Amino acid sequence: MTDTTPPTHSRPTLLGLFLIFSRIGLTSFGGGLSGWLLREFVQEREWIGEEEFLNGLALSQALPGINVKNMAIWIGHRLLGWRGAAVAVAGVLVPPAIVIVVMGTLIGALIVHPVTKVLIAGAAAAATGLSLSIGVLTARRVRRQWVPLLLMAATFLTIGILRWPLVWVVVIGAALSIGHEYVAIRRSAR
């Protein structure tokens, strides 16, 4: 008789959380970090559900500060409370900060070589691809109602094509989105 029970995933630990965030911080560039977080915590370890992750990502992007730092705090707190939040943010910031200082010194000396420029362009392309994958995943999860789709399209148009100031698009889009959801919740409560 074979066991058809799906494999159980280990429980998160403080050391494990620090190591995961250190690895992500040390091996990721630019906006691709949220893609790595999705893969690590939702797809591979199944510690957080996809919808919950996307809600945390939206919250992290809405709060001031660095998105990945906000996301590390959110994931760490979600998994292991305040200690998890502290360990996660330390993991994502401290080891990469040390490497950045060392690499900055090396790149400063090597930037005159054409290969260095190619490597930096390749890293930027990889980060762009990871950011695009999160964007596509998020777009697929948008409710198929006209107001959320219209807001998503308007955001793309105003920021991506018309190059309007991000802060005003976010403030106006957030106000419209919150207002729409408020009205929808009030209607359904009746």
pLDDT per residue over 2-55, tens digit each?
Answer: 444 344 568 899 999 999 999 988 887 666 678 888 889 999 999 999 989 988
Q: What is the 3-state secondary structure (H, E, C) of 19-71?
A: HHHHHHHHHCCHHHHHHHHHHHHHHHCCCCCHHHHHHHHHHHHHCCCCHHHHH
- The set of residues, in sequence order, having a beta carbon less than 8 Å from that of 135 and lying 6+ positions away, is none
pLDDT per residue over 169-178, tens digit each?
Answer: 989 988 998 8
pTM of the entire predicted model: 0.57
Could you give the CA distance from residue 75 to residue 45 in angstroms, rounded to a whole number?
13
